[in-house]
Amino acid sequence: MSPKILSREPPDGNPGLLPGVDPLVARLYANRGITRSEEIDHGLSNLLNPAGLGDFDKATTRLAAAVETGERILIVGDFDADGATSVAMCVSLLKAMGAAEVEFLVPNRFEFGYGLSPEIVRVALAREPAVIVTVDNGISSIEGVALANAHGTDVIITDHHLPGVDLPDAYAIVNPNAPDCAFESKALAGVGVAYYVLSGVRASLRGSGWFTRVGLTEPNMADWLDLVALGTVADVVPLDRNNRVLVHHGLARMRRGRCRPGIRALVESSGRNLGELDSEDLGFSVGPRLNAAGRLDDMTLGIRCLLAASPDEARRCAAALNELNKARRELEAAMVEDARLIVAGHDEPVGGRYGVTLYDASWHQGIIGIVAGRLRDKVNRPVIAFADAGHSAPDELKGSARSLSELHIRDALDVIATRHPGLLLKFGGHAMAAGLSIKRVHYQRFARAFDTVVRERLPESALTQTIETDGELEAGDLTLVNAQTVRDAGPWGQGFPPPLFHGRFDLVSQRVVGGQHLKMAVKSGGRLFDAIAFRQAPLGAPGEVGEVQLVYKLGINTYRGGQTLQLMVEYVRSIA
């Protein structure tokens, strides 16, 4: 069934006009609820005050004391891009503040799993840290924190994931989603939370006169915004106003070449132009290369890339990450095809289930999140893909969930855990994505429970796929200038979606490029336009032409130093 294409409307019905703002951009902003000039002011002074973050002062004072007394600080991260950028920022920024001993530890997902588990705490304690700081994890690590406490090690949790009923007995918990936290934005990524905490550490050290006493130049926090931007976009958190300010400045620094060698090398290896970089490049080209290390191997390689002091070292790390990313794409393609074949065996989408679960013994646990996302997009239902947990837990399955906007997936898992005690060994995540572990023997039981809960909580109307666009554009508006203007009006991303348009075009020609992408020439208003649709089969027989409906973004094709407009097609269908 073809999706419904709907035009976005301004929430208040008023298309709005912003002084000095291009009318097309003003229309896009209005469609996203922005009608006042101050809402698009990306000045750093507009960042929310950290005062509302629970335990903020306690955490920053303890870390500042650790810096001043030379205590050993151990950063424990997560194995994704948000975790990697958080670790790299904490290590490099604390050292810039004068910390004598700062180390990091990232659990290998295949040996230890996620978070500050008792197993990873035992590894950490061998390094004899005075303080453990978790980044992008820790809010559910009750047993791990208890073990650290028993050995006299303070644990400071910086996280953004949703908490369970009980919280760890940590020295301090800084998490905008923790109970009773008054911080206005709940959308900070892990790297954003860590950035706020380190800003507070700097302020505490400044207040004590530390930088003057030891003869250190006080670090400029803005110099670390390239890491914040990359981690925030790669983690697909909503780009509310606060996150847009952070990402805007991080991208601006990258475009000016004021980023660390590791990010420059990752951009180069992805074939992107640093001076033209946008948030979609971070999300779809740079972030996946960093994530590949955590998915297939060890995120230490990604962190080393971000911490690289020289361009040569950074390029070596980026090249290794690029090879891992190629391997990841090959695995992904095979697993996605497996999933599609499973779904194709049903007369109706996935047998009429509302909540879809899939498992294959050959699947790689580092890739199942991508598989779940791809299948979710195909069947328009919440999907959980499972893989074997590995030799550390041979009787368990690890699952990765991807949801629709109408269903909070972590809350759905919480309902299952409440109704079926012991069915979920552990779980955690966000509204749109979550992770979980179950016993293999409970797979079918869990699949039934998941379908039941989704059926109860997901509106039936959500099963009809819709594509929201910003309406149609006249042929005269399809210009390179407008593409550049729209790009620069960002950053766009989750919760602040990139502008999409729809319209009818005459299909003049089509051909497959790269083995699976459809390159088209289309015409509107007497003008010819270049268009490309990724992972799209030809429309009809080779050489066949006719009228088509496109949903597209205004893209910029850079070739041999020149730039041309290219329609980046998200959806295409022939019109009979």
Three-state SS sequence of 418-483: HHCCCCCCEEEECCCEEEEEEEHHHHHHHHHHHHHHHHHHCCHHHHCCEEEECCCCCHHHCCHHHH
Integer Cα distance of 541 and 147 in angstroms: 65
Q: Which of 115, 162, 112, 152 is nearest to 131 (CA)?
A: 152
Q: How far apart are the first and last CA of the chain?
A: 15
Residue 14 pLDDT = 66
Beta carbons within 8 Å of 220's beta carbon, 6+ residues apart: none
- Contact status, residue 254 vs residue 217, Cβ threshold 8 Å: no
User: How high is the mean pLDDT in each 10-residue block of the chain (576 residues)?
Assistant: 84 73 94 90 95 96 98 95 97 98 88 83 97 96 97 97 92 96 96 98 98 97 98 95 98 96 97 93 95 89 97 97 94 91 68 89 93 91 94 90 94 96 90 93 97 95 91 96 96 95 95 91 96 90 79 90 93 88
Residue 18 pLDDT = 84
pTM: 0.92
Residue 169 pLDDT = 97
Residue 348 pLDDT = 58
Integer Cα distance of 116 and 137 in angstroms: 7
Residue 124 pLDDT = 96
Helix-helix angle 81-96:190-208, to 10 degrees: 10
Q: Which domains, from first to last, does the chain contain?
A: 49-251 (3.90.1640.30), 260-330 (no CATH), 346-463 (3.10.310.30), 470-575 (2.40.50.460)
CB-based burial, 149-169: b 16+ in 10 Å, e otherwise? beeebbbbbbbbbbbbeebbe
Question: Using the 8-state DSSP alphabet, how is residue 49 labeled?
Answer: P
- Contact status, residue 524 vs residue 475, Cβ threshold 8 Å: yes
- Nearest 5 degrees, angle CA 164-CA 168-CA 170? 145
Residue 428 pLDDT = 85
Beta carbons within 8 Å of 359's beta carbon, 6+ residues apart: 385, 386, 387, 397, 443
Integer Cα distance of 266 and 275 in angstroms: 14
Integer Cα distance of 427 and 446 in angstroms: 13
Residue 3 pLDDT = 86
* Residue that is written with structure tokens 């994890």 in the block: 137
